[in-house]
Amino acid sequence: MERFGEGYLEERKLVKRWSGPIPALVSLVLTLGIFYLSWWIFQDPRGVMRMYTPYVGYMYCRWWLIMMIWMVYIFNYWPFKRKWLENTHPLLKGAILTTISAVILITLIKGFFEGLLGNYGLAYFNPEQLEKLPGVTSFFAIEYSALAILMFAAIASWLSPAWVVAFEEAPWQKLKQPAKGFSILMLTFFLSMVVYFVTMHPHMGILYHPWQYFTSIAPPYWEQFADTVSGNFHISWIMCCTVVVWLVETIWERYPFNLIKNDWARRFACFFGIIGIALAMHFFLYFAQELTWGEAIRGTRRAFAPDWRWLHVGEMAIFFLVPALFVTFYCNNWPKKYSMPVNVLIRTVVTLIGAIALYIVYYKTSHMFLGTQKGFSHPQQFPMIPMIWLVNIWLVHHWFMDNWPGWKMVQKTAEEIDADHEAHQAAINDVRWTPRFGAGLGAGVAMGVLFYFITVWALPSVYAAVNIIPGK
């Protein structure tokens, strides 16, 4: 039977070429170098193509992420065969797969969104259609349509991996490629479209004067709850979903959902658990801003506006993704020597510290090298763009290039694969209900709640002491 990339990521063994942290450091330096070079070529406002207008660059950046998720997570590298994946030099493999991802990306944006949807369905997906409206300049026509397309991407970048991570590809897990890939793609694209219409379409419907009452719900139903008519309220929780999917998949190893024995119960718990955790992040990160900057004021601009605060929740969430992926891709998901819950907790703490450090470093220094400006609330500046751009480069490096040159890819033997599965199952079985576990759980919940309130109490003074942007 012809094999494609099913299980390739789990069944490859990445062997360090050098001892200790050197491979991780080399990878970090190399990927940051590629990041900066490609940022200059494609995104930087001072660079070559200057796509960071901002929405055009953001749209391509966001959809490129999804292209790679589709190719690797949904289609398992199809139509490339396993032998090709195993035997091709990482540089060549990376170049070919990246090129393919870019071709699909451009086809999707130009062909599907702008060409098909924009010309035959919803005008706002196509800049040329928007330009026909009185008063809409070419620049904003492009920005509006890029905004709509990237909003779709925000949803798809949560739902596409969520079907694999939470629903474990069910009910098509036994299908061969490409039937499995197309089934998951169709379903997640359909779901993305449904979510898009009930979250983002009303936002687009009030972009034009008068509000488009006939085609979208105006004012939007979330207005009173979110304190804004802006769709940024949804961007916020959807971004959190995007991040939580990957936290669950990487540093959490799908814990604690993997404890549930019943397949469908586990799948639904994981899918809705991701949404629940994302909502918790969504509300807390908004609260954190209220604690540090003061209450939002509806109708104002920048840092005090509810719409920007919701957007900034999504921006803060993305800072968690970067260290989490680094721990998984380049630190072999350190640590692994304790029980699964303890490993997960340690990785989460490391990720949290990394996210906070990255946030501070980004806002303190990024304007010195990204062609952006200092300050939190520039209306055309989104840290999601450089962060996701870096994540994209890491995905190319980790998924397409086997972490070359810091690591060498060796295919695991059948025995090693079996041993891995057994060890993973043993780690799950190791967590079971006992009176002591119950006592620990109760104590842990109390500690978690206590930690939350200590954070709430300390956050204003800690933030004031850090002084991320002097003079703010």
Rule CB under 8 A: which of 377-406 touch another protein? 377-381
- What is the closest distance, in whole angstroms, from the C-beta atom of residue 390 to another protein in the complex? 18
Cα–Cα distance, 333 to 429 (Å, whole number): 20
Among 283, 364, 405, 417, binds another protein (CB under 8 A): 283
Measured from the CB atom, the residue of 67 and 384 that comes closer to another protein is 384
Binding positions for another protein, 151-180, rule CB under 8 A: none
Binding positions for another protein, 128-147, rule CB under 8 A: 135-140, 142-143
Measured from the CB atom, the residue of 7 and 219 that comes closer to another protein is 219
C-beta separation of 76 from 8 below 8 A: yes
CA atoms within 13 A on the CB side of 243: 31
* Ordered DSSP codes for 59-126: HHHHHHHHHHHIIIIISTTTTS-HHHHHHS-HHHHHHHHHHHHHHHHHIIIIIIIIIIIHHHT-GGG-
Cα–Cα distance, 459 to 85 (Å, whole number): 48
Among 198, 265, 443, 466, binds another protein (CB under 8 A): 443
How many other CB atoms are found less than 10 A from the CB of residue 333?
A: 17
Binding positions for another protein, 300-319, rule CB under 8 A: 300-308
Binding positions for another protein, 38-57, rule CB under 8 A: 45-47, 50, 52-54, 56
C-alpha of 46 from chain center: 26
Measured from the CB atom, the residue of 181 and 220 that comes closer to another protein is 220
- What is the closest distance, in whole angstroms, from the C-beta atom of residue 199 to another protein in the complex? 13
Cα–Cα distance, 171 to 357 (Å, whole number): 41
- What is the closest distance, in whole angstroms, from the C-beta atom of residue 161 to another protein in the complex? 20
Among 98, 145, 199, 372, binds another protein (CB under 8 A): 372
Closest CA relative to residue 204, chosen from 149, 131, 136: 149
- What is the closest distance, in whole angstroms, from the C-beta atom of residue 421 to another protein in the complex? 21
- What is the closest distance, in whole angstroms, from the C-beta atom of residue 460 to another protein in the complex? 7
- For the CA atoms of 284, 232, 73, 33, what is the dihedral angle to 10 degrees? -90
- Radius of gyration, alpha carbons of the chain: 23
Question: How many residues bind another protein, per CB under 8 A?
Answer: 98
- What is the closest distance, in whole angstroms, from the C-beta atom of residue 191 to another protein in the complex? 23
**216-235 mask for another protein (x: CB under 8 A)?**
---xx-------xxxxx---
Binding positions for another protein, 325-344, rule CB under 8 A: 339-342, 344
Binding positions for another protein, 249-278, rule CB under 8 A: 256, 276-277
Residue 20 interacts with another protein (CB under 8 A): yes or no: no
CA atoms within 13 A on the CB side of 340: 20
* Ordered DSSP codes for 386-398: HHHHHHHHHHIII
List, in sequence order, the alpha helices (H) in 167-231. Answer: 179-199, 201-205, 223-226
Measured from the CB atom, the residue of 237 and 330 that comes closer to another protein is 237
Binding positions for another protein, 69-128, rule CB under 8 A: none
Bridge partners of 14? 409
- What is the closest distance, in whole angstroms, from the C-beta atom of residue 344 to another protein in the complex? 7
- What is the closest distance, in whole angstroms, from the C-beta atom of residue 252 to another protein in the complex? 9
Measured from the CB atom, the residue of 93 and 309 that comes closer to another protein is 309
CB neighbours of 87 closer than 8 A, spacing ≥ 6? none
- What is the closest distance, in whole angstroms, from the C-beta atom of residue 208 to another protein in the complex? 7
Bridge partners of 410? 13
Residue 248 interacts with another protein (CB under 8 A): yes or no: no
Measured from the CB atom, the residue of 10 and 430 that comes closer to another protein is 430
- What is the closest distance, in whole angstroms, from the C-beta atom of residue 318 to another protein in the complex? 18
Residue 121 φ/ψ, nearest 5 degrees: -135, -75
CB neighbours of 384 closer than 8 A, spacing ≥ 6? 58, 62, 239, 314, 315, 318
Among 93, 180, 201, 203, binds another protein (CB under 8 A): 203
Residue 463 interacts with another protein (CB under 8 A): yes or no: no
